[in-house]
Structure 1
C-alpha cells in the first residue's frame, strides 16, 4: 500500500503542476528569468541523479565514483557488539564486521526537445565483506561486476521565475548478477552463493519515478527531489529486494562563477526483502536472513561543484561530496552505514 500511495502522490503532483503551468511555460522564453544550468550550482550535489534537464539538442556525458563503507552492527537504531548480537542472543554462526563498496557509474543524457531529456546509466560495483565466526575465526568474501542498467525520460513541466519542475519515469533493467559466489569456511573448497548484500543486481525489472523542484537566486539555489524505486515480480532466486523511497533536499551557495558549496539532507526508507533464496541458510550468517533487511535513515552531505564557464573546457564540471548518516533504524541486526564519498565529472555540449 505504501508504494502505491507514494507512486500516486508523485504522479498526481506531476499532473497538477502540468495543468497549472502549461500556459505560463508558453511565455517563458526570456532566458534571463529562467532557471539556468550555466552556473556552478546549476547542477545538484554530485550524489544526486536526475537533478537537471537539458535544452534541445544538448548532450551530457558523466562519470561518477562512489565509495561507501559499512562497519559495526545496529539492532534497530542502537549499536551492538558482535558477541551480544550474534553469538549469544541470536545464535547466528557468522556475522559480518565491515563491507566497503566501490561503484563506478557512466551516464549519458540527450534532449530531443526543450521539454524532454533522455537518460541512461550503467555501473560497475566491487565490494568486500569481512566476517567473524562463533569460534573466533575470520574470513572475507568479494564480488564484482556490472550492476543493473537504468534508462529514463525526464519531462520539464515549467521553467520560469528562476524555478523549474521536472518529472522522471524510468526502468531499471536487471543486468546485474544475483548468482555471485565465493569460497567460505563452510563451503571449502567449493564456492557457495553469497548473501543478498553481496549480490550485484536485483534480478527484477523495476520502475523508477522521481519529481524534482529547482529554485535559484542571485548567489543561492535550492533543490528538492522525491524518488522511489518500485520492485516488480520475483527474481529467479525466489526473492524481491525492498522498494526504496527518498527525499533529497539541498542548498548551494554560488561562491564564484566557477565554484559552489552545497549542503544536502536526505531522508529515506528501504522495505524488507520479500521471499528468500532457498540456497541460503538464514541461521548461518545475519546477511542471509531477510528479517535483517530494510531500514529508515537520514543522511547529511557537504560538497562542492567546480564549473568551467569559459575557455576550452567550458561546461565541464567536477563535483565532490562527503556524506555521513544522521540516523539509521534497521530491521533486525545489520551493518551500520558509515561514510559515503562521491566524486564525478560532467561534460555537456551541443
Structure 2
C-alpha cells in the first residue's frame, strides 16, 4: 500500500515538472478551452471565468461505505456488538448537485452550489435482527467567490472565500427496532446538513503544457459554532493534486491524489445514546484519508454543443486512519455535465 501511495505521489510530481518544462518558452495564458482545462469532475472551484461568462453544471455522486475499522485496523461486527447494541454494516450516500458560476469581471467569479442528498444505512442488532434507516432532502447551500491572483505563462492561481448556509436538515428520523412503531433521531452521519454557518477558504494553482495540465488545490472548511442540537461537525482540510492529459482536441484523462483530514464532532445531541450504535458516539467521527481517482473529460470545442463538458471520475481510498469505530469509505463514482456561455 505504501508503495502505491509513493508511486502515485511521484507520478503527480513528475507530471508537474513535465508541464512546467513545456511552458518555459510559452508566454500565453492558461485556458479552460481544452478538454484538460478543468480539474477532475469531483474537484470544486477549480477555475475562474472571463467577464460576462456563465456556467451551469449538474453532478451526481455516489459513495459506498462498508467494512468496519477501528483506527486503521479492520474489526468484525461481533467485535462492535460487544460494546454497542447495534452495529452498522454498510452505508451509501447519493448526492445530486446543481451549480452556477458567473463572472462580473475577469478577476472575480461568483459560484453557488445546491444539493439533494439521500443516505441509506444497513444495521444489525445484538439479537441478529437486520434493519435499515434512510434520510433524504436538500443539503447545505454553498456560496463563494473566486478571485484570480494571476494568469500568465500558462500558469494561473486564484483564491476562494465562501460560506455554507445551513439549509440541510439536522432533525432526520426513522423507525428502528428499539423505537418501533415510533421514529427516533438518526445518528450524525445520517443527517443531511451541518446546522451551522461554515466558512470555506482555498487556494488553487494551475499550469498547462501543450498536452498536459497540472493542478493543486488546498481547501479548509471551518465550523463557526454549534448548531441548534448542541453539536458541530469537525473542520475539514483537504489537498488535491491532479494531472490531466489531452488525448485529442476533445478528450482528456486524469489522475487525482487527495489528502483529507476531518476533525471529530464537538458537542453531543441530547437525544442520541452514544452506547446504542457507534455512529451516535462522537468519539467515532473524523479521521485521516488518502484517496485517488481516475477520470475522463469530454469537451466540445465547436458546433451546436460548443462549450459542453461531460465528465466522469472513479475514486477509491488508498489509506484511512479513522477515529474510533467507523465504516470505512469505499469507492466513489462522480458524473457531471457543464455548459458555459457569454
**Does TM, scored on the shorter chain, surpass 0.5?**
yes
Note the residue ranges of structure 2 that are not aligned, 5 or more in a row: 1-25
CA offsets 1:135-188 (integer angstroms, 9 cap, x no match)? 111000000000000000000000000000000000000000000000000101
The question of whether the paired residues in 1 share the 8 Å contact of 2:27 and 2:152 is answered with: no
> SS of the counterpart of 1:281?
coil
What is the aligned counterpart of 1:76 among 57, 67, 71? 71
- Match for 1:243 among 223, 235, 238? 235
Cα distance between partner residues in 1 of 2:44 and 2:286: 22
* Aligned twin of 1:20: none
1:275 aligns with 2:270: no
Which SS does the other structure have where 2:248 is aligned? coil
Residue of 122, 140, 162 corresponding to 1:148: 140
Q: 1:72 deviation in Å? A: 1.1
Contact 2:216 2:241 in 1 (8 A): yes
Match of 1:167 among 135, 159, 166: 159
What do the CA deviations read for 1:4-41 (whole angstroms, capped 9, x no partner)?
xxxxxxxxxxxxxxxxxxxxxxxxxxx97000000000
Aligned residue in 2 for 1:349? 341
Residue 234 in structure 1 maps to residue 248 in structure 2 = no
Gapped regions of structure 1 (runs ≥ 5)? 1-30
Query: Paired residue for 1:340?
Result: 332
CA–CA distance in structure 1, aligned partners of residues 337 and 81 of structure 2: 45
Structure 2 residue aligned with 1:200:
192
Distance in 1 of aligned mates of 2:75 and 2:152: 51
In the alignment, structure 1 residue 60 sits paired with structure 2 residue 55? yes
> Alpha-carbon deviations, 1:67-124, whole Å to 9, x = none?
000001011011111112x123xx1000110001110000000000000000000000
Query: How far, CA to CA, are the matches of 2:249 and 2:220 in structure 1?
Result: 34
- Residue 28 of structure 2 is matched in structure 1 by 33
Question: What corresponds to 2:42 in structure 1?
Answer: 47
List aligned pairs for 1:294-313, cutoff 5 A: 294-313=286-305
Tell me the equivalent position of 2:81.
87
Aligned length in residues: 317
Matching residue of 2:179 = 187
TM-score with structure 2 length normalisation?
0.92
Give distance in 2, aligned partners of 1:74 and 1:135: 22
Q: How many Å separate the matches in 1 of 2:157 and 2:225?
A: 31
Aligned mates of 1:122, 1:334 — CA distance in 2: 28
Q: CA deviation at 1:344?
A: 0.1
Partner SS for 1:327? strand
* Post-superposition offset of 1:332: 0.4
Moved over 3 A (4+): none
